[in-house]
Amino acid sequence: MTLRIGFIGCGLIGRSHATKLQEPVNAGDAEIVSAFDLDGERAKIFCDEFGPALASSAEQVVAESDAVYVATWTAAHPELVAMVADAGKPVFCEKPLGVDLETARRMVDAVEKTGVINQVGLVLRNSSSFRWLHHQVASGANGQPMSMMFRDDQYIPTQGLYGSTWRGDVNLAGSGTLLEHSIHDLDLIDWVMGPIERVSCHTRNHHSIDGIEDQATVILESASGAICTLSSTWHDILSRPGHRYIEVFCQDGYLALDGEWHGPMFRDMTGETRTTVEQGQAAIDTAAALDGLGTNPDAAFVNAVLEGRPAYPDFRIALRAHELCDAAYRSAEMNGTPTDV
């Protein structure tokens, strides 16, 4: 069977998903048949490249498709997700789900009430690096987890390859680097080291863009006793479009990632005298052998829809990340007071 896919939003991330949808899936075929963007020129370029018919409205995309991607700026997600869910069709929505926690809750209700298959763009759950790290910690092979240092930096994405003015508009983005970018990181920290029980956070706004923080530093306390720190920075260093560097200390093992998709990943164990390094294809193969998940989140979505089973990661997983983010912002408003999640 061929799954007919529609796109609402034909910008940077829409194009990225469309590109990944060109790769083979297991359960059948997928074809992008319909696309719409408020920016007609963008939509036309997308249609010329990926082949769908140019639609004149979001409603038309929903009517013409079996499953729909919502890849617009964040503030537009809720209404469009509701439209797709009300039509009873599977939906892939970009992260963050909405501009705040309450909106995210309503969106989870919308997909769960209608029972549509749903997936969120927390795509780093599919990365080889983070699956390796999750496995290393969860297996217990490295002993008791003690700490994580998670550094995420990118140039402020109102410029350069992102070039999105909406990321500087609090009404469209919701807030700055913690919600718009590091909601990925909050999800990953909770997945690898969690559950996180308490956070404390400070934010700064060096660029003086109203409501858009460009530095967030968060301390996250895990139920296991581990303490994690996240530093999320939006700077102006145009040679750094985005990079994640993570170190984990367990009692008997040191783990590190220098890069978010395929490493390199480093491991030092008690009694070893040299660092083990995995990267590139070796990293992909290692991660694939751990859980059988592919590294293509879009193929995973198509396979789930064609096989009629739940997709992963779903909106409820994203809601948990929104809860962490909301607790961090509440803490920042109280000058870093520890806040329960």
Ligand X SMILES: NC(=O)c1ccc[n+]([C@@H]2O[C@H](COP(=O)([O-])OP(=O)(O)OC[C@H]3O[C@@H](n4cnc5c(N)ncnc54)[C@H](O)[C@@H]3O)[C@@H](O)[C@H]2O)c1
Residues that bind ligand X (CB under 6 A): 8-14, 36-39, 42, 58, 71-74, 76, 94-95, 121, 123, 162, 164, 166, 180
Provide the minimum distance between the beta carbon of 315 and ligand X in the complex, in angstroms, as a whole number: 14
Q: For residues 190 and 26, what is the distance between their CA atoms, to the nearest angstrom?
A: 30
For ligand X, the closer of residues 142 and 175 by Cβ is 175
Provide the minimum distance between the beta carbon of 75 and ligand X in the complex, in angstroms, as a whole number: 8
If you compute the radius of gyration of the chain from its CA atoms, what whole number of angstroms results? 20
User: 249-255: long-range contacts at Cβ-Cβ below 8 A with a sequence spacing of 24 or more?
Assistant: 249/145, 249/146, 249/147, 249/148, 250/137, 250/142, 250/143, 250/144, 250/145, 250/146, 251/142, 251/143, 251/144, 251/146, 252/142, 252/143, 253/136, 253/141, 253/142, 253/143, 255/133, 255/136, 255/137, 255/142
Closest CA to 112 of 73, 82, 74: 82
For ligand X, the closer of residues 82 and 269 by Cβ is 82
For ligand X, the closer of residues 42 and 204 by Cβ is 42
For ligand X, the closer of residues 157 and 253 by Cβ is 157
For ligand X, the closer of residues 166 and 266 by Cβ is 166
Q: For residues 320 and 88, what is the distance between their CA atoms, to the nearest angstrom?
A: 24
Residue in the shown chain whose Cβ atom is closest to ligand X? 11
